[in-house]
Amino acid sequence: MNPPRDTAGPVTLLVATRKGAWLYHGDAARRTWQVDGPHFLGHVISHLVLDPRDGRTLLAAARTGHLGPTIFRSTDFGRNWTEVARPPAFAKAEGGAGRSVDHTFWLTPGHASEPGVWYAGTSPQGLFRSEDGGVSWAPCSAINDDPQYRKWMGTVQDGTPDGPKLHSIVIDPRDPAHMYMAMSGGGVHESFDAGRSFAPLIDGLKVVDGFDVNDATFHDPHCIRLCPGNPDRLYQQNHCGLFRLDRPATRWRHIGGGMPAEVGDIGFPMVVHPRDPDIAWVFPMDGTSVWPRTSPGGRPAVFITRDGGERWQRQDAGLPAEQAWWTVKRQAMTADSQPSVGLYLGTTSGELWASTDEGAHWCCIARHLPDIYAVEVAEPADR
């Protein structure tokens, strides 16, 4: 999430897909988009993120077919790329029993006061920190090697189909030492010392029936976002519904009860308004029976709350009215910070959709891309 802004400026969409990355440069009105790509054609790109502190450094988390994972870095907004010197890798364990990073899944720039600091979440679950702009990465042993955290992570068998993940690394804009992260599976966790230690933050959340709600192992947060307009407020899309937490409280509150029963409150992405903490958006999916993970009924729709989750309204103008069976992954929906907030989502069928009026109307700005894994907004002040 970029810092809130009061005036319109250029918006670029950073689109990471199963087979490469694309940049879509918008005009001032966000009506026409100039395509730049593919970058890294054939590479699996899990996340492509701008460093908002310099407005030009991009990091791309890549995996290539059956080659090991790496990270590519650009210091000129994607014109040139170099592979980083030391991508995230777990500490070597004696006896060959150690874990290996399958792919870096999530990238988060550090606090505004700490230029050069980045955090990365991996599959299987691992937390990594860079202090040199993403060139080299060190494992955070408080998570990666801690016996209790390893137990909560479970095994690869316990994870999501594409591997268990550490994601939703959130830095408190008021305090660089205060951060949150989430694991699928393994729950939500909080640190007050810049990642040197963590503690679970799962009170009030639900788990699948029959499992122990007090054991972080069984918690599956899908996406967590902090409200820039009120950093004490967090929204969460969880495997078991929608939740909100207002600090300093430590108990999450279920806020999905206002969703239509035929739609439910299961999904992956969670998007917050850049200024108004009462406004948030979700993209529900079919989480019934065998979890089809499609738009419910084949009718895609965004849902918005304007009152912190008490009520939700459907926003589908412009989206397909029927027989559209795609969905949106947890990193593939985001908002810009323009005066009239733009929303963007990328689909599992390779379509890129945009709204320039806070979700009221949608238009498709790209089709036929590979399966979209992540969409981020870049709003560089000067490029």
368 binds another protein (CB under 8 A): no
Per CB under 8 A, contacts with another protein among 217-246 are none
Smallest distance from another protein to CB 368, Å:
15
CB-nearer residue toward another protein: 91 or 364: 91
363 binds another protein (CB under 8 A): no
State the Cα angle at 22 between 29 and 17, rounded to 5°.
125
CB-nearer residue toward another protein: 83 or 193: 83
Closest CA to 208 of 239, 237, 187: 239
Enumerate residues 6+ apart whose C-beta is below 8 A from 9.
Answer: 338, 379, 381
Per CB under 8 A, contacts with another protein among 88-147 are 89-93, 96-101
Smallest distance from another protein to CB 160, Å:
18
Residue type, 327: T
Distance CA(364)–CA(116), nearest Å, equals: 35
CB-nearer residue toward another protein: 91 or 321: 91
Which range, of 65-73, 117-125, 155-163, 236-244, touches another protein by CB under 8 A?
Answer: 65-73
340 binds another protein (CB under 8 A): no
Which range, of 6-14, 66-74, 248-256, 346-354, touches another protein by CB under 8 A?
Answer: 66-74
Distance CA(265)–CA(296), nearest Å, equals: 11
Closest CA to 130 of 145, 140, 142: 140
CB-nearer residue toward another protein: 99 or 244: 99
174 binds another protein (CB under 8 A): no
Smallest distance from another protein to CB 99, Å:
8
Residue 157: helix, strand or coil by DSSP? Answer: helix
Q: How many CB atoms lie within 10 A of CB 298?
A: 15
Closest CA to 375 of 337, 336, 323, 341: 336
Which range, of 81-89, 129-137, 159-167, 355-363, touches another protein by CB under 8 A?
Answer: 81-89
Figure out which of the listed residues 3, 41, 68, 151 binds another protein, where binding follows CB under 8 A.
68
Figure out which of the listed residues 20, 26, 38, 87 binds another protein, where binding follows CB under 8 A.
87
- Written as one string, the DSSP assignment of 197-258 is --EE--TT---STTS-TT-GGG--EEEEEEETTEEEEEEEEETTEEEEEETT----EE--TT
41 binds another protein (CB under 8 A): no
> How many residues form the binding site for another protein (CB under 8 A)?
20
Which range, of 79-87, 151-159, 190-198, 213-221, touches another protein by CB under 8 A?
Answer: 79-87
Distance CA(265)–CA(71), nearest Å, equals: 34
User: Between the CA of residue 220 and those of 16, 161, 183, 224, what are the distances in Å?
Assistant: 23, 13, 7, 11
Smallest distance from another protein to CB 184, Å:
22
What does the binding site for another protein look like in residue numbers (CB under 8 A)?
64-68, 70, 83, 85, 87, 89-93, 96-101
